Amino acid sequence: MSAVAPPAVDPAAAEEMAQEAAAWCALHGLVVGDRANPRSATVPGVGLVHAPFSLLPARLPEHFWRQACELAPIFNELVDRVSLDGDFLQDSLSKTRQVDDFTSRLLEIHRKMMETNKKENIRLGLHRSDYMLDSETRSLLQIELNTISASFPGLGSLVSELHRTLINHYGHFLSLEPKRVPGNAASSKFAEALAKAWAEFNVDSAVVMMIIQPEERNMYDQYWLTKHLKITHGITTIRKTLSQVEAEGKVLPDGTLLVDNKQVAVVYYRAGYTPNDYPSEAEWSARLLIEQSSAVKCPSISYHLVGTKKIQQELAKPNVLERFLENKEDIAKLRKCFAGLWSLDDEEIIKTAIEKPELFVLKPQREGGGNNIYGLDLRETLTILQKEGGDARAAYILMQRIFPEASLAYLVRDGISHEGLVISELGIYGAYLRNKDKVVINDQCGYLMRTKVSSSDEGGVAAGFAVLDSLYLTDKVILHLSTFSAISFN
């Protein structure tokens, strides 16, 4: 394996590029709400700043990129197959529900749908599978599979354009080729999948309803999908919080979902994945109401449950994938990307993790960034859980800590570039649409690259830990610096 060093950029050149890039962001909608302006999370067009970004794309050997893209349709199919096995979901999460109220409430809705034999003939999944390149094994390992509110298809698509623009302009001294930044059509592909689900629903006057949080500084990422739906497909999108759905919504006897007197064809969740999204019973009532309707849900309650960390851990057990997939080559490809995953029923692995906490990550059933436990905190938490015994352990899974290689890069936030050692995570978007026995879509549809300083464990962009990035494909295996860190971007 030969070393490939990132291009050297002196601070003055980096500052010039950062200013040009920030202007490009403003002109092209690569923006988020400004945390300093309280109205920026509720009023569109107020208090905009450029989204945090990496000045140049992250390098990745092309064969790893192709591997990740090949996995997308396999994971799409797996999610659909697992979602149809209600008993597997209920049984696998039975212990978790006893100690995690959020999972318990989701399972309660799922159980009610099972009892009424509710069928989702039209099933839509917009997923994102996240990976890191492990420096020790030289393998691409999965961090997690997101089946609800897979964020940044809109802004992530724009970063690829930004980087190609910068390389075109400064390529003469960067020695970079814009063609090596792969195109990223995630926003238009997600919109196309939503539009095709709307078409399968087959009611011309119906709308797509996007479920949002009451305060959302990442609304412009979402508005890119709204734009594509309206301009390209002629479909109207309405934005509603769960509490608004509870106040304005009803389900007719034939299953029709009406919200604000508009029939809803597709419900697309960009909220509802965290307990914070359910501050009262009103939000839970809305979630149940939607699930009881005939509208297409993205995701349905069963798709949502497939994306839980406990199910990820269950699917990594021997012989479990064979329960859902027949193709041995597909199963082998999935297993190749699985990192080590264990339940806390395994006393030996707990003992090992307490002795060597730096090799593990403790993950609770939480999404959105900032929830994972590392190092001495991991040791302390496991020690307490071991002493207490009982079912409290079921709220967590233990995962192999992945050690990506660090490299020097400039990260730009608030118009200022900072150089530092960084590590990156690749997310591959997938779209899956099925109507009964007909698979309408099963595609890889773009990617998300996130980069952060290597000294921080957490990495969500919306949570403030990471920046948006894109890919620069190389034909060689990269060996950067021997400074390692490991994180999870949620």
* Catalytic-role residue among 77, 120, 144, 291: 144
Would the CA dihedral through 414, 487, 268, 105 be positive or negative?
A: negative
* Catalytic-role residue among 287, 363, 379, 393: 363
Residues 278 and 211 sit within 8 Å (Cβ to Cβ): no
CA 408, CA 330: separation in Å to the nearest integer?
A: 36
Return the closest-CA partner of residue 248 out of 194, 223, 205, 211.
211
Residue 217 marked ligand-binding: yes
Residue 482 marked ligand-binding: no
Which residues on neighbouring strands pair with residue 210, listed in sequence order? Answer: 239, 268
Residue 368 marked ligand-binding: yes
Residue 117 marked ligand-binding: no
* Catalytic-role residue among 310, 450, 459, 485: 450
128 is catalytic: yes
* Catalytic-role residue among 128, 164, 379, 393: 128
3-class state of residue 261 by DSSP? coil
367 is catalytic: yes
* Catalytic-role residue among 340, 368, 415, 420: 368
Residue 148 marked ligand-binding: yes
336 is catalytic: no
Side chain identity at 354, as an amino acid letter?
A: I
Residue 211 marked ligand-binding: no
Q: Distance between terminal CA atoms of the chain?
A: 31
Residue 123 marked ligand-binding: no
Residue 128 marked ligand-binding: yes
The runs of H, that is alpha helices, within 307-374 are 309-315, 328-337, 347-355
Residue 436 marked ligand-binding: no
Residue 462 marked ligand-binding: yes
81 is catalytic: no
Would the CA dihedral through 267, 427, 83, 86 be positive or negative?
A: negative
Residue 112 marked ligand-binding: no
Residues 375 and 358 sit within 8 Å (Cβ to Cβ): yes
Residue 399 marked ligand-binding: yes
146 is catalytic: yes
Tokens of 300: 């349905």
* Catalytic-role residue among 40, 146, 188, 293: 146
442 is catalytic: no
* Catalytic-role residue among 367, 393, 417, 459: 367
Residue 429 marked ligand-binding: no
Residues 285 and 276 sit within 8 Å (Cβ to Cβ): no
Phi and psi torsions of 406, nearest 5°: -95, 150
Residue 425 marked ligand-binding: yes
Residue 272 marked ligand-binding: yes
3-class state of residue 469 by DSSP? strand
Which residues on neighbouring strands pair with residue 363, listed in sequence order? Answer: 397
| Binding site members for substrate | 128, 148-151, 216-218, 222, 270-273, 450, 461-462
| Binding site members | 128, 144, 146, 148-151, 216-218, 222, 270-273, 309, 363-372, 374, 399-402, 425, 450, 452, 458, 461-462
| Binding site members for Mg(2+) | 144, 146, 367
| Binding site members for ATP | 144, 309, 363-372, 374, 399-402, 425, 452, 458
What residues act catalytically? Answer: 128, 144, 146, 151, 309, 363, 367-368, 450
